[in-house]
Amino acid sequence: MIHATAIIDSKAELGSNVEVGPYSIIRQNVSIEAGTVIGPHVIIEPYVTIGEDCHIFQYAAIGAAPQSLKFKGEKSDVKIGRGTIIREFVTVHRGTEFGGGITEVGEENFLMAYTHIAHDCITGKKVIFANNATLAGHIVIGDNATIGGLVAIHQFVRIGDYAYVGGKSAVVKDIPPYVIASGDRAKLHGLNSVGLKRHGFSQETLSLLKKAYRIIFRIGITLNEAIERVKAEVEQAPEVVNLIDFIKSSRRGITR
């Protein structure tokens, strides 16, 4: 159902069973796929693609120009993945030419009220952002990560798969997969054991990750030494390999 007060540009494309609430504005070059619900007073700017079965609540603003002094009005995009929930007053900004040209929110993400996703950010599947989570530009977040309320993440930081960032944290370095981090500035506080168990990780995998975590972060050797020791002493399960590869590819440095 399209409410009579909604304003939809003739160049916008809406799939079957899309609902648009009162006073929402959908501009040109927007594509909204089947089954998505757009609440009242939502603004969707040009060059936004929204997947199937999303729900965008009132006063969200999707696809505004990035807050970057380098941006010169070039075409860039926002992509919202299937099944994503976007709550009140969330803002998601377009990408920039120098940052890849797209901001992408993955499938089945949950963005609680006042979350901000800045230009050129990429999130994986089933990421949860609690109220007022704030991402600067060029951030990459892995699958099944959880970002607590009032968390501020510095530009170019990466957050690994299944990581949990506690509320009111300031994150300035990469956070590895499978861990808990919190604080100002954020520090590691062990494996995200509860979250991993909820996602069906076996006890054997948890034990391997725990051993790798201890070698890398708790015995006081360099990261390079720790990586070589983990390779020699810990079974190279996919999760252990993922942890090592994440650390080796870090450019900002690793939260410890």
Catalytic (active-site) positions: 119-120, 137
* Amino acid making up residue 144: N
- Max CA separation in the chain (angstroms): 66
The one-letter code for the residue type at 219 is I
Q: At which residue do the structure tokens 């390779």 appear?
A: 231
Q: In a 3-state reduction of DSSP, which class is residue 203?
A: helix
Using CA atoms, how far residue 104 sits from 13, 56, 189, in Å, is: 19, 15, 29
- Alpha carbon dihedral 64, 22, 113, 192, in 10-degree steps, equals -90
Q: Is 109 helix (H, G, I), strand (E, B) or coil?
A: coil
Q: How many residues appear in the chain?
A: 256
Instruction: Judge whether 78 and 93 are in contact, CB under 8 Å.
Output: yes
